[in-house]
């Protein structure tokens, strides 16, 4: 993850990712194998209780068990549920102003990974990220993705982004 963040050429985002990974490593050092084996249960529980870091980690932790194509096919119904819950958690974390959640949500809507592709919502969440910290990567995607939208879609997306920032500032 550190390499991926660094490749974005965005010092702020890279710093956020590296800091979070360092904190996660410290927390995990003292855990037993049994505790690590139950991380899906505890991550899910914490995410449902509104813990932002758990909300961000939920999808990757909940899908670790699908490590082969056979397991992925066999768990297709469960994966649909996991994707829906992951979207809910990302939306919750984004509404609290979490920049990683804003980026992940924008990417999920742009790529259609957790839900149906929605270029307007993708742009809106990336725009909200840009408003919340002006990261280089957000500006790059806002410019690129904005070219795909009509003037009316841009207006709608900008209103969504402003609303998202307003809600997160009110918390």
Phi-psi region of 9 (alpha: psi -120 to 50; beta: other; left: phi over 0): left
User: Are 128 and 164 a contacting pair, CB within 8 Å?
Assistant: yes
- Reported for 110-116, long-range contacts at CB under 8 A and 24+ positions apart, including other chains, are 110/141, 110/145, 113/83, 114/59, 114/83, 114/84, 114/86, 114/87, 114/90, 115/83, 115/84, 115/87
CA 161 from chain centre, in angstroms, equals: 16
pLDDT of residue 42: 86
pLDDT in tens, the chain (171 residues): 445 555 555 566 667 766 766 676 666 667 677 766 678 888 999 999 999 989 999 998 899 899 888 998 999 999 999 999 999 999 999 999 898 899 999 999 999 999 999 999 999 999 999 988 867 888 999 999 999 999 999 999 999 999 988 877 765
**pTM, rounded to two decimals:** 0.78
Beta-carbon count within 10 A of 22 CB: 11
Rounded to whole angstroms, the Cα distance separating 139 from 12 reads 13
N-to-C CA span, the chain:
29
Among 3, 2, 7, 1, smallest CA distance to 136 is for 7
């Amino acid at each position: 993850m550190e390499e991926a963040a660094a490749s974005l050429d965005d010092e702020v985002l890279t710093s956020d990712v590296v800091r979070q990974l360092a904190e996660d490593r410290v927390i995990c050092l003292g855990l037993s194998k049994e505790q690590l084996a139950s991380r899906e249960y505890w991550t899910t529980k914490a995410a449902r209780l509104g813990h932002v870091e758990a909300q961000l980690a939920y999808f990757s932790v909940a899908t670790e068990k699908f490590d082969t194509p056979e397991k992925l096919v066999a768990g297709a119904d469960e994966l649909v549920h996991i994707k829906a819950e992951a979207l809910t958690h990302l939306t919750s974390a984004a509404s609290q102003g979490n920049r990683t959640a804003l980026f992940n949500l924008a990417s999920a809507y742009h790529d259609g990974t957790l839900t149906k592709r929605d270029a307007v919502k993708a742009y809106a969440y990336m725009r909200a990220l840009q408003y919340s910290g002006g990261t280089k990567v957000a500006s790059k995607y806002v410019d690129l993705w904005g070219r795909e939208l009509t003037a009316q879609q841009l207006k709608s997306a900008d209103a969504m982004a402003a609303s998202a920032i307003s809600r997160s500032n009110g918390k």
